[in-house]
A = this chain, B = another copy of it.
Amino acid sequence: MSTTLPPEAAEAAARTREEVCALHAELPRWNLVTWTSGNISARIPGTGLFAIKPSGLSYDDLTPQSMVVCSPDGEPVDGDHAPSSDTAAHAYVYREMPEVGAVVHTHSAYATAWAARGEPIPCAITAMADEFGAEIPVGPFALIGGDDIGRGIVSVLRGHRSPAVLMRSHGVFTVGRDARAAVKAAVMCEDAARTVHLARQLGPVEPLPAEHVDALHDRYRNAYGQRSSDQ
């Protein structure tokens, strides 16, 4: 499947592969993935292509070169491995949501537990209001293969403040303007899923009032982090 990219695209692809490969280390670090599950992809600037994790490789064995470059319709165009079995879903998101620069998928345990019940995570703590600006919503059940998962993700996240969606009985997809932002959303999604799970185990939990969620989310988007940082 290995094809030759034009020189400029090859350079951009090399940079994206490097970044996507490095960020994969965050998934086991924050306990979001088990064995070879989970994957990250990011658009390759100026090309219409994206780079994604190869299918079924151990996190220990990932290298920048093993990341697979795919076309907008999810076909591998550069790389020595088969791309993630979730590639079609990533590709669909890129085709439909031009503002999205990266996609992350995990089966992180607490978030997937909410997904198994088909229950959104109520926005009950300020850290959720900061990052998600809303409850974390649930998307439809969809079988892998074809565009069903991608369609489900886009149908929920388009126009939603939350960069994370719990796909019913499956797991988490997050989006971001770049790979670091999408990974952060996946990390914070599991943290929120766990904290609210723990809270709910010993009694009812009230969501924050909408005006507080709005105020917190707005402030966080505009005042947190270093001025030119992606945080």
Q: Tell whether A212 is near chain B: CB-to-CB under 8 Å.
A: yes
Q: Tell whether A5 is near chain B: CB-to-CB under 8 Å.
A: no
- Of the candidates B124, B169, B195, B205, the one whose C-beta lies within 8 Å of that of A125 is B169
- Of the candidates B109, B117, B194, the one whose C-beta lies within 8 Å of that of A205 is B117
Are the C-beta atoms of B85 and A224 separated by less than 8 Å? yes
Within 8 Å CB of A187, what residues of B?
34-35
State A125–B117 Cα separation when bound (angstroms): 10
State A73–B115 Cα separation when bound (angstroms): 45
Are the C-beta atoms of B188 and A81 separated by less than 8 Å? no
Are the C-beta atoms of B56 and A170 separated by less than 8 Å? no
Q: Tell whether A225 is near chain B: CB-to-CB under 8 Å.
A: yes
Q: Across the two chains, which residue of chain B brings its CB closest to A205?
A: B116
A-B contact pairs, 30 of them (CB 8 A): A34-B188, A56-B225, A56-B226, A56-B229, A82-B225, A82-B226, A82-B227, A85-B223, A109-B191, A109-B198, A110-B198, A112-B125, A112-B127, A113-B199, A113-B201, A114-B199, A116-B125, A116-B205, A117-B199, A117-B203, A117-B204, A124-B169, A126-B144, A127-B171, A143-B212, A143-B216, A144-B216, A145-B219, A197-B202, A200-B202
